[in-house]
Structures are given as C-alpha cells and as structure tokens.
Amino acid sequence: MNMRKKMFLRAFPFAAPTIVTSGTELVDLVQALTNWFFVGFLLAAVVFVIIAAFQFLTGGGDPVSLGSAKKKLIWAVVAIIIAVLARTIPLVVENIITGTAPPAGLPAPILVSPANGATGLSTTPTLTWSSVPGAVAYAANILGVNTGIVTGTSFTVPAAWGLTTGTTYSWSVRACPEAACTTPTLWSVTRIFTVGAAAAADTTPPAFISPTCVESDCSPTYSTPDTTPLFLSTTDENASCRYSSADLSYDSMFFNCEAGQGTTSHDCNGDFGGLTFPVGPWNVFISCQDTAPTPNKNTSANNLDIPFTVIP
C-alpha cells in the first residue's frame, strides 16, 4: 500500500463495527457512514464543476447551455455544503448520547491514532488527530487522568501521568481558539486504548524437543538398516534447519533439511549429497535458526546430537 493511500485511510477510517454494543461504537458507526457521504458528495461536486466548465467552454454563448452550466455549479456548491455538514453529524450524535449541547466555535478534531480499542500500548503513548482551521492549541484529555495542552496535532502522554499496564483509558481532543484553551469547544468522539507490556525480544535460538527419530526409530538408541536414513527433529519454535556429520555452527553447515523449513517439524534426509553411512555407529548433528527479525542460530554448544547405528 503506498503512502498516499495510507494517509487517506488514516484521515477517513471507513471501517465500521458490524454490531453496535455501546454509545461509542454507535458514534464510530455514524462517523464511518458520514465519511462515505463526505467523500461521495465531494466527488459529486468535482463532477458537476467539470461538466459545468465543459458546457461553458463549448456552449458558444447559447443561453440554454449557460443556464445548464450555472445550475450544475449551484449543485456543486450544494454538494460541498452537504459534505461539510456530514462531518458534524457524529458530534451531534455523541452530544445527544451524552446529553450535552454542542458549544459554538471551532469544530472538533478527527482522531487518527491510536485506533479505537488499540491494545499493547506503552505507558507513554502518542495521541494524534487532524488539524482544525483556526485552532491555536489543542486540549488532549485522558478521562480521569489529566489534560494536556499542545499547539500541534500530536501529544505524547508524559510518564508522570502514571498510566499502568493492563488498564484501559478513554481519550478525546478539542480545538482551542486561544493558547490557554479556556473557551468551551466541541470535544471529538471518544476512543479507548489499553496499556500493555511490550513483548520481550526473542534472543534465544531454537531448542530441540521430543520427538527425535531416525527413520521410524524414536528410542534413545537409534538404529536402522538404511544407509541414508531420514532424521526427524522437533523445535520449540518455527525454524529453518541444517544437518552435518560434524558438530558445526548453523552457518558452517552445508546441507539444508529437505522438509519443514519455517515450521517446528524438520525432516533431514541423511544422504549428504549422495554419500552413505557404512554399517557401524555414527553421529549426525542438526542446527537451526529461528524466524525472529534478527535470527537466533544454534552453535556447536546447543545443536541436536543424534547418535545412531547402521545395522546389517
């Protein structure tokens, strides 16, 4: 998805809940629907303007053509007015639900991020919203916690506000005509987010767990009559594996396991490029790397050592 499309979807979140279970979800639904109206009527206005311009240019002074073009310009203005009014409907609905009358003045900002219902946020999340023409400052409020006043369209909650892990918070923003934000103005719709601990980075290589088998023998002492046996291993996380007759690091091994790459079950066919194991005791070593952003790899210290015997 290109950057323009991402910015457009952030500005106009069309997705709406399919089942409304709260006042907040009702407001979100109304906002999503009015976003469609907003874009639709703006597009209609553009079409009317284009057609009117074409009629002005090609009418040749014909009164009928000029009259038709003027009517289309009027409809374009009407479409723009309806599009702008559509953006105020969610605020009216919210004020009806909360029982408060909308104050006069600046319109409410449109919240951008975090998305409503977002989870796993830090204790100092950054809240962002759309700009409002004529606004000098913005008041960002986390219900029951505090309100911060900023001049831009984002606010990073300070650590001093004491947000706690596992707690859900409500937030909204209003635009202010002065730096002190003393004049009452419309609050935006309310969104919620939940603070959660950041997932710890994976810093350990894959560990080998049961079962481990040589062909169909999954006992601790493996034996097989096959001189090119199949080695089966299992890891505790998705991984890609290699095998060797020497206890080497993952990067130093040459043969990739033929099946199970990127999963937890790995099949390594021990033909070593066409070589065979004569009758007698042998060892095969399997080494893996996980799928972390920075892969963690096995070394000779934590490879899987499979001792087995080729029997007559």
Give me the torsion for CA of 116, 122, 124, 126, rounded to 10°: -40
Q: Is 165 inside any structural domain?
A: yes
How far, in Å, CA of 43 to CA of 111, rounded? 23
Q: Are 284 and 270 in contact (CB under 8 A)?
A: yes
Higher pLDDT, 49 or 160: 160
Average per-residue pLDDT in the chain? 82
CB-based burial, 59-82: b 16+ in 10 Å, e otherwise: eeeeeebeeebeebbebbeebbeb
Residues 44 and 117 in one domain: no
Q: Are 189 and 93 in contact (CB under 8 A)?
A: no
Max CA pair span of the chain:
105
Most confident of 77-81, 161-165, 292-296: 161-165
Chain-centre distance for alpha carbon 278:
54
- Does 219 score more than 50 pLDDT? yes
Beta bridge partners of 196: none
7: confidence class by pLDDT, cuts 50, 70, 90: very low
Residues 214 and 301 in one domain: yes
Helix (H, G, I), strand (E, B) or coil at 123: coil
Query: In the prediction, which pLDDT does 4 show?
Result: 45
Residues 242 and 305 in one domain: yes
Domain boundary among 163, 195, 227: 195
Higher pLDDT, 201 or 259: 259
Backbone angles phi, psi at 163, to 5 degrees: -65, 145
Where in the sequence is the domain holding 190, given as residue range(s)?
103-195
Residues 87 and 162 in one domain: no
Residues 86 and 122 in one domain: no
CATH of the domain at 234: 2.60.40
Q: Are 188 and 107 in contact (CB under 8 A)?
A: no
Domain boundary among 67, 94, 121: 94
Query: Is the model's pTM score more than 0.85?
Result: no
Residues 217 and 296 in one domain: yes
CATH of the domain at 180: 2.60.40.10
Structural domains of the chain, count: 3
24: confidence class by pLDDT, cuts 50, 70, 90: low
23: confidence class by pLDDT, cuts 50, 70, 90: low
277: confidence class by pLDDT, cuts 50, 70, 90: confident
CA angle 238, 241, 243 (to 5 degrees): 155
Q: Is 203 inside any structural domain?
A: no
